[in-house]
Structure 1
Amino acid sequence: MSSRKPIVLPDGFEHTTLRVPIAEIMPLREVPNSVRKSVKYGQIAASITEVGIIEPPVVVPDRQRSSRYHLLDGHLRLAILLERGDTEVVCLIALEDEAFTYNRRVSRIAIIQEHRMILNAVKKGVSEERLARALNVNIANIRAKRNLLTGICPEAVDLLRDKHVPLNAFTELRKMKPMRQIAAAEIMVAMNRYSTGYVKSIVAATPEDELVEKKQRAVRGLTEAQIELMSRESARLDREFKLIEQSYGADHLDLVLATAYLGSLLSSAPVVRYLAQHHPQLLTEFQKLTELQQAA
């Protein structure tokens, strides 16, 4: 039987959790065998065995059938529960409009999600030693992830919440003041680049009044001219991002709908046969678009 209990959640979610039969949850993608054999998959499976589900999967109710749900986040956790033979799982319920903006195809836990999982586990009384054993890492790694967001402003955290950002990149983000952290996170998302080296370049291009501490006179490997060029480029990206942000929501929805329509066309054998005979190059491009959307 489904049950609800109060919980404090971010905007875009109902303020309850719901125990949902796993049979009523429809994943948006299959977990490939290559992922099932990965180290991350094994870590998640071990943590579930050791401490249970700490970060609940996120689902959105089906519009046609209220008892069914679409899985937005937690594909690996659900796959592991199915392998274990579990029949129910406690989920976070997303609002309907959140389905278009939430990262719906997460195939592995991002570092901020892992940080929150660790904090939740600690709050429930799980020791650092037990967590380290469950995740197959050393205690220093657990402590670093536990303190991951210290000095990071909430708006930057929200922008990077489902991105796979290296641990050391957050060390670089801490060198900047909150408003610059937000701008840096926006640039990272816009460019789809999250490496520590890229964040270091953003720090190097940051004016001193936007840094927590004054930068050294010379940045290793960069000349003054290169730093000045990076500063101008960073400012230009900031302006362009603000312009793109104004139309992103509508553009993203159009893209989702168009790709879904293409997918439905390519599921028809007569349509594929016709395109293959008369427009093979167009068919190839359509297939690439649908494959990219599925892998996103």
Structure 2
Amino acid sequence: MTTTDEEKIVAAAFEQGLLTVPFDQIAPLYVVTPQKKASIKFKQIAASIHEIGLVEPMVVARDPHSPGQFTLLDGHLRLEVLKDEGRTDARCLVSTDDEAFTYNKRINRLATIQEHKMILRALSLGVPEERLASALNINIRTLKQKRQLLDGICDEAAELLKDKQVALTGFQILKKMKPLRQIEAAQLMVAMNKYTINYARSLLAATPESLLLSVATPKKIKGISREQLDLMERESANLEREVRLVEDSYGADHLDLVLARGYISKLMSNDRVTRYLSQHHDGFLPAFEKITETEAFAS
């Protein structure tokens, strides 16, 4: 079968080129509250725009019912910063899809390691540390910590966490572990989808001293005895083994459950089968009905 030229055409997601749009023609999807404007994120964006200008344009969609009007899909904080600076318009990217959810669900926010690489790139191009720190709304000490983020982190662990939102302190905790344990900890973070500082600290607490860099110094955690630490280490090791076993069999188990549910649903749609069960196996019928009423197992 020959593919026609019409079938080869792919609709563009955005209009070509940026468009300067006055702010009074842009309708935001929500109001930026004073609490939001007091947040660290807002202050970082404000500092960045003040220092180096608007790097990432706002994304808008044309209002199909009102020519010349636009709906703001992405960039609500940037819009408020520009308004606060006295700006009345800005160059925007015009999306051909007016669904904010469709657009926003495809955005991947900058991960910690990606930010680290961005900082290294900027410094290599000669951007002064003071200007870069001002643009990111952080002090020089924090900038240096971000620059040295992967010093002491093995390549395998860094690869596992390259697109994850791991706190700076989380990486500092990982640096106290030997490479093998760093990889195990990173695998557990990904498997559990938990990248918090407290979870990293719990992994550190459950790490045997033989897998810590400072084995000569006994591990001490306030409020936890040596016996409790030993117990945590054993339980953590058992949990890790169980997690890996579940990971190995999850795909097959999930497929089996979906197939079994589909088979039971088909049986329950047959009046003769349900009548037979009610007469001879009435104990099974409620359980089967409950299974068929449940939504398909989430992937």
- TM-score, L = length of structure 1: 0.53
Cα distance in 1 for residues equivalent to 2:182 and 2:29: 34
Matched letter for residue 236 of structure 1: N
Equivalenced residues, count: 201
Matched letter for residue 206 of structure 2: A
> Secondary structure of 2:119's match?
helix
Which residue matches 1:227? Answer: 229
Question: Runs ≥4 in structure 1, deviation > 6 angstroms?
Answer: 52-55, 75-79, 248-253
Out of 167-176 and 46-55, give the one that drifted further.
Answer: 46-55
What displacement does 1:228 show? Answer: 1.6
What displacement does 1:151 show? Answer: 0.6
For 1:237-252, list aligned pairs within 5 A: 237-246=239-248
What displacement does 1:169 show? Answer: 1.8
Cα distance in 2 for residues equivalent to 1:124 and 1:77: 27
Matched letter for residue 156 of structure 1: A
Which residue matches 2:91? Answer: 85
- TM-score, L = length of structure 2: 0.53
What displacement does 1:118 show? Answer: 0.9
Structure 1 unpaired stretches of 5+: 1-19, 25-29, 56-74, 89-102, 254-284
For 1:145-224, list aligned pairs within 5 A: 145-214=146-215, 216-220=217-221, 221-224=223-226
Cα distance in 2 for residues equivalent to 1:148 and 1:44: 22
| CA deviation vs aligned residue, 1:167-195 (integer Å, no higher than 9, x gap) | 22212111111111011112222333333
Cα distance in 1 for residues equivalent to 2:238 and 2:113: 28
Q: CA RMSD in A?
A: 4.4
| CA deviation vs aligned residue, 1:4-55 (integer Å, no higher than 9, x gap) | xxxxxxxxxxxxxxxx98547xxxxx98655985532552464366457999
| CA deviation vs aligned residue, 1:250-284 (integer Å, no higher than 9, x gap) | 8999xxxxxxxxxxxxxxxxxxxxxxxxxxxxxxx
Cα distance in 2 for residues equivalent to 1:215 and 1:206: 15
> CA 1:31/1:179 → structure 2, altered by over 3 Å: closer, same or farther?
farther
Cα distance in 2 for residues equivalent to 1:195 and 1:127: 31
Question: In the alignment, is the contact (CA less than 8 A) between 2:116 and 2:149 conserved in 1?
Answer: yes
What displacement does 1:197 show? Answer: 3.2
> CA 1:250/1:156 → structure 2, altered by over 3 Å: closer, same or farther?
farther
Cα distance in 2 for residues equivalent to 1:78 and 1:215: 52
Matched letter for residue 136 of structure 1: N
Matched letter for residue 134 of structure 1: A
> Secondary structure of 1:222's match?
coil
What displacement does 1:152 show? Answer: 0.6
